[in-house]
Structure 1
Amino acid sequence: MKKSIERIAGDTEGVSYEFPVYRIEGTSPDAPTAYLQAALHSCELPGTVAIHALMKRLRKAEAEGRIRGAMTIVPSANPIGSTQMLFGEMHGRFHFDTRRNFNRGFALLDEPDASPLSGSAKVTTADQELKDRLMQLSMGHDIVLDLHCAYEGVPYIYAHSVLWPAIADCASALRLEAILYSSDPGDGEFEVAAIHPYLKASPEVARLDRRVVATVEFRGMRDVDPELAEADAEGLYRLLVWRGVVSDEAIGPQEPYAGIAAPLENLEMMRSPCSGTVLYHVKPGDRVEKGDLVATIVHSPGEPDGSADIRAPQSGYVLTRHMHRFTRRGGDLMKIIGDRRSATDVVVEE
């Protein structure tokens, strides 16, 4: 295992950012390869500790000659966001300067060639240079996982519909509760950009049967503890074994996926009609029926009509909910995977 340091120039003199990259050379040139990154949103830490726990498994496998496919691992992918502290709290989803989401604006390349992302004549900002660098690091790998988390939620993934149902083994290996798939080009999310070069490629280049490209949501932001880190590391390791990147006879055979799989258009984004204190009546993982009370907004405390009830627009599965207990009008409350197309406008902010 080799460690290198990637450096990103800041947007003012004397400022720069760096992050470590770990590489493992595989023993078989024909084996699938893997790229893992975590904390692109710097404040989302479950993936970082999962990779930390995974590394000891990989070091052992490497020492025993069981790493078949090459691997590139970035445990903390966003050093810019990690520096954005305000009143003692990290704000790692958006770049303070450009106000752009760190998981938006990745280049949608038409071919699996990262050379257009480099060049001294290219003028860019630090956050965009970081995105280009991460794309360069991930390019060419068969398995590309971007590890995130929700505010509060069950574990699930986003993936391109072209990979469903072949990607079901990923969800099974990681013990996920749901898969959301879509062919929408989105707004340049990392996972969308990672699969984009292969969508129009020839079958010999695309090799979609061996690709796993997904945004993995490891529960909620507070779900950071030793037990979950080990469980998620075991899931990642299980996937690497099932897909042939690592060899390990101690890992059992592939298991069928028993969770939810739905198109992204079925996702209901529940938003508040007013500001106030949020009282949730359901939690992630609950099943709801159309018309069920899912939340109450206390907007005028003490008044007889001082609260507003929020009800499920259709039957479905509660995927996530916001961790804050005060909301403004239009604020996100929760996501529900419906049994049919969404009755509300879908705008996914991950």
Structure 2
Amino acid sequence: MEIEDIPLPGSAPGLSLSLREYAFGPKDADCSLYVQAALHAGEVPGLLLIQHLLERLVTLERLGALNGRIAVMTWANPIGMQQVVGGTLTGRFDCAGSGNFDRRFPDVRLEVLRRIEAGDHPRTLHEVKAWLMAIAAPDTKGADPVDYLKATLLCRAFAHDMALDLHCDKTAIMHVYSNWAQEERATALARCLKSPVLLLEEHAGGGTFDQAFHDTWLALRRGGLPCESRQGFSAVIELRGQRDVSDELAIGDADALLDFLRIEGLVVDREAVAQRSAPVIAALEAVDHVKATQSGIVSWQVGPGEYVERDSVIAEIVGVTPCHAARRVEVRARTNGILVARMHVHFVLAGQRIAMMAGSETVPGRVAGALLPD
């Protein structure tokens, strides 16, 4: 096991920040994986999963059972972890104003293609990774702390073939985001995690970490550089809801990730991988973000994981203003599908996103390139 502390510029005078990365397995391995937790700093389930994953990797390395390189970034957003407001960790958005921490990651594709066209490109896979890391390396001169953090995370991920980003939703079932180009591998990951739903996209937009990683490798492949099918595989794992934090869940999820690594050949301890059900696969264009039609108290009629028919009532919102006292407005499903996630608070505002449903048909208004709300 190797431990590296990566310094970051402080977001305030006198404040020192750093990332910590653990690495396991041979440095010259043919395949490697990068995993990080809590890029949205208030999403805690991944932080606990990471602790159990580290314990298992220590044991597996001691037994000589690691055939691949595995890097674990224990916390991905120390800036967001400082944002405690009124006793609550608010780590999805940067309080300094740069927006969602998992949007607008550096897009290095144009620079990659420019260098390829100029004949300045590597010849082996190991050289490709070092080359990508150099391109993505953060600018140390007067860099904005959040921009520096994003560049650093992407740079560290480019040292590896695959990248997993651990998140969670408000109140939700386990679900996985990935891309159509890696459908088979993403399905295997979702199976291992017992995820009922797998959401796939070709171009979601927004510049998320996983997209920045995948899209760069896709540009390399199109530019003719040496890439196998697993290079550039990325996925976002939504570890249920914010309140689903327990050792029992985290241990099961860590073991599930190890099963995926066994399938990929990074772990070779002869443990059998359990056969699990395939997920329901939905295109991101078929995901509906349900909005509240009035302000008030939401009373849910459907729980996460339940299948509902189009036009079914999934919730009622009770108005609380004088002119709307006791007035109930129904919230209906616009598509046949599974209620994947919903708000974990019960007072909502008109126009606020309160639920997410995954169906089988494109939802009106869903446009490729603009499929992720902030």
CA distance in 2, matches of 1:197, 1:27: 22
Q: Report the residue type matching 1:117 in the other structure.
A: A
Q: Which residue does 1:226 correspond to in 2?
A: 247
Query: Within the alignment, does 1:189 sit opposite 2:208 as a pair?
Result: yes
CA distance in 2, matches of 1:65, 1:324: 47
SS in 2 for 1:181: strand
Q: Which residue does 2:278 correspond to in 1?
A: 258
5+ residue gaps in structure 2? 113-128
Q: Report the residue type matching 2:307 in the other structure.
A: R
**Alpha-carbon shift at residue 210 of structure 1 (Å):** 5.7
Corresponding residue pairs, total: 348
**Alpha-carbon shift at residue 239 of structure 1 (Å):** 0.8
Query: Mapping of 1:78-117 within 5 angstroms?
Result: 78-110=77-109, 111=112, 113-117=132-136
CA distance in 2, matches of 1:177, 1:152: 15
**Alpha-carbon shift at residue 136 of structure 1 (Å):** 1.0
Q: Which residue does 2:66 correspond to in 1?
A: 67
Q: Which residue does 1:292 correspond to in 2?
A: 312
The CA deviation string for residues 137-157 of structure 1, in whole angstroms up to 9 with x for no partner, is 110312210000000111111
Distance change (3 Å), C-alpha of 1:267 and 1:187: same
CA contact (8 A) 1:150 1:219 kept: yes
Q: Which residue does 2:372 correspond to in 1?
A: 348
The CA deviation string for residues 58-105 of structure 1, in whole angstroms up to 9 with x for no partner, is 111100111111111012111111110111000000111124111011
Q: Report the residue type matching 2:47 in the other structure.
A: T
Q: Which residue does 2:347 correspond to in 1?
A: 326
Query: Within the alignment, does 1:178 sit opposite 2:202 as a pair?
Result: no
Q: 2:337 aligns with which of 316, 323, 347?
A: 316
Q: Report the residue type matching 2:243 in the other structure.
A: R
When the two structures are superposed, what TM-score results if normalisation uses the length of structure 1? 0.93
SS in 2 for 1:205: coil
Q: Which residue does 1:20 correspond to in 2?
A: 20
Q: 2:236 aligns with which of 215, 221, 238?
A: 215
More helix by share: 2
Q: Which residue does 1:236 correspond to in 2?
A: 257
SS in 2 for 1:73: strand
Distance change (3 Å), C-alpha of 1:323 and 1:121: closer
CA distance in 1, matches of 2:232, 2:215: 12
SS in 2 for 1:169: helix
CA contact (8 A) 1:28 1:68 kept: no
When the two structures are superposed, what TM-score results if normalisation uses the length of structure 2? 0.87
Q: Report the residue type matching 1:127 in the other structure.
A: V
**Alpha-carbon shift at residue 343 of structure 1 (Å):** 3.3
5+ residue gaps in structure 1? none
Name the % identity: 28
Query: Within the alignment, does 1:276 sit opposite 2:296 as a pair?
Result: yes
CA distance in 2, matches of 1:90, 1:278: 24
SS in 1 for 2:236: strand
CA distance in 1, matches of 2:365, 2:319: 23
Distance change (3 Å), C-alpha of 1:15 and 1:345: same
Q: Which residue does 1:29 correspond to in 2?
A: 29
**Alpha-carbon shift at residue 120 of structure 1 (Å):** 5.0
CA contact (8 A) 1:268 1:344 kept: no
The CA deviation string for residues 41-66 of structure 1, in whole angstroms up to 9 with x for no partner, is 11111111111111111111100111
Q: Report the residue type matching 2:181 in the other structure.
A: V
Distance change (3 Å), C-alpha of 1:220 and 1:121: closer
CA distance in 1, matches of 2:184, 2:148: 34
